[in-house]
């Protein structure tokens, strides 16, 4: 066995049942699997807990286990580790990054803060621990409006790194936050033209999108919300068809939770049946095989300097306190 290129490389006996083996390892090692909604369906199905970024962070402070395997992307593993420095936090593939988190380097943010010393710093959870350490309070797409509204209307605020989420918050709260110029490459790809064409072909369908989408898509949508909020909205809505503008992994839960409703990913699948446009390739680096090997060898592990973890925990705790 070796850990090469960020994940465990070892032979897997072709005769084993991966799901059974993963469940056995979880019991033996007192481990839990937490998964984000953008994971492959087969990973969501073996998870002990599935959630959006806020729910994963909220769950992370309550987990009673020796090992947490976070099936998601690196910043999510880091957030879980920050909240669980006494536990082993594993991720199936260290290469599972995030284009948004990558768009904001701590040194660059520090320089920006230095130019605006009288501003409060609010960061999206899709950031590294180093960026969180420079932050006053973290938000997720679930609680961003509530957190921003908790500050006085005239408070000067730097918001990063997602300019689309930032524009959405500015529009909804009437603020004028200074926005970092970052974006998620998956959510930026959606084409308004294709979404409107789908709507024309399905006039009864509702358009629902994640606030990481560009402004014209947000404006064309019937509902805007985090992955968890989209699921709750579908439950409440009387519509039976939805055009979904977010990463396609969420469709697994949508179909499972609402088998009588129809979900159309935006943009539509291609003629070959391959939907390559709305996939987060980082999220999809995780596979059942890697989850199995990670649990078996307890590698790769997220490790963090304790002082950095302490600094990064402060704004996450502030967010969790406001989100109770």
The option from ligand 13P, ligand SF4, none interacting with 99 (CB < 5 to 8 A, set by class) reads: ligand SF4
Q: x/- contact string, 187-216, with ligand 13P (CB under 6 A)?
A: -----------------------x-x----
Give me the numbers of helices (H) and strands (E) for the chain, helices first please.
16, 14
Does residue 186 touch ligand SF4 according to CB under 6 A? yes
| Residue in 214, 262, 220 with CA at minimum distance from that of residue 237 | 262
The CA dihedral of 97, 99, 104, 106, to the nearest 10 degrees, is 10
How near is the Cβ of 304 to ligand 13P at its closest, in Å?
19
142 binds ligand 13P (CB under 6 A): yes
Q: Site for ligand 13P (CB under 6 A): how many residues? A: 11
Binding to ligand SF4 (CB under 6 A): which residues in 73-132? 73, 98-100, 126
Contact predicate 158/122, CB 8 Å: yes
Q: Is 248 in the site for ligand 13P (CB under 6 A)?
A: no
Residue corresponding to tokens 């090997």: 293
140 makes contact, choosing from ligand 13P, ligand SF4, none, with CB < 5 to 8 Å by partner type, with ligand 13P
- Selection from ligand SF4, ligand 13P, none that 53 binds (CB < 5 to 8 A by kind) is ligand 13P
- What is the smallest separation between the CB atom of 126 and ligand 13P, expressed in angstroms? 6
For residues 20 and 267, give the distance between their C-alpha atoms in angstroms, rounded to a whole number.
36
Rounded CA separation 219/234 (Å): 18
Between helices 74-83 and 306-322, what is the axis angle to 10°? 90
How many Cα atoms occupy the beta-carbon half-sphere of 241 within 13 Å?
A: 10
List binders of ligand 13P among 44-83 (CB under 6 A): 52-53
Q: Which is nearer to ligand 13P, 44 or 142 (CB)?
A: 142
Q: Which residues contact 129 (CB under 8 A, 6 or more apart)?
A: 78, 82, 304, 308, 309, 312
Rounded distance between C-alpha atoms, residue 158 and residue 193, angstroms: 32
Is 226 a binder of ligand 13P (CB under 6 A)? Answer: yes
* One of 123, 126, 128, 135 touching ligand 13P (CB under 6 A): 126
What residues make contact with ligand SF4 under the rule CB under 6 A?
Answer: 38, 73, 98-100, 126, 184-186, 247, 280, 282-283
What residues make contact with ligand 13P under the rule CB under 6 A?
Answer: 52-53, 126, 140-142, 184, 210, 212, 226-227
């Amino acid at each position: 066995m070796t850990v090469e290129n960020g994940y465990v490389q070892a032979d897997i006996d072709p005769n084993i049942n991966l799901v059974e083996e993963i469940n056995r390892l979880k019991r033996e090692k007192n481990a839990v699997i937490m998964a984000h909604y953008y994971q492959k369906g087969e990973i969501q199905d073996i998870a002990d807990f599935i959630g959006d970024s806020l729910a994963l962070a909220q769950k992370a402070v309550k987990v009673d286990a020796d090992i947490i395997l976070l099936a998601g992307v690196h910043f999510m593993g880091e957030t879980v580790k920050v909240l669980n420095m006494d536990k082993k936090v594993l991720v199936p593939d260290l290469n599972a990054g995030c284009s948004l988190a990558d768009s904001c380097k701590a040194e660059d943010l520090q320089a920006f803060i230095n130019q605006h010393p009288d501003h409060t710093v609010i960061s999206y959870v899709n950031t590294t621990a180093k960026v969180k350490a420079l932050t006053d309070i973290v938000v997720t797409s679930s609680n961003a409006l509530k957190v921003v509204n908790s500050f006085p209307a005239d408070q000067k605020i730097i918001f990063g790194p997602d300019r689309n989420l930032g524009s959405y918050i500015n529009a909804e709260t009437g603020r004028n936050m200074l926005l970092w110029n970052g974006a998620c490459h998956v959510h930026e790809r959606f084409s308004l033209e294709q979404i409107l064409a789908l709507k024309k072909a399905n006039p009864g369908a509702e358009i629902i999108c994640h606030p990481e989408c560009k402004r014209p898509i947000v404006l064309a949508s019937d509902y805007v919300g985090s992955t968890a909020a989209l699921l709750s909205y579908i439950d409440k809505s009387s519509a039976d068809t939805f055009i979904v503008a977010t990463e396609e992994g969420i469709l697994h839960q949508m179909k499972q939770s609402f088998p009588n409703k129809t979900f159309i990913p935006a943009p539509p699948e291609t003629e070959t049946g391959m939907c390559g446009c709305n996939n987060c390739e980082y999220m999809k680096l995780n596979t059942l095989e890697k989850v199995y090997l990670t649990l078996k060898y307890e590698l790769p592990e997220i490790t963090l300097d304790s002082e950095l973890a302490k600094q990064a925990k402060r704004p996450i705790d502030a967010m969790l306190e406001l989100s109770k």
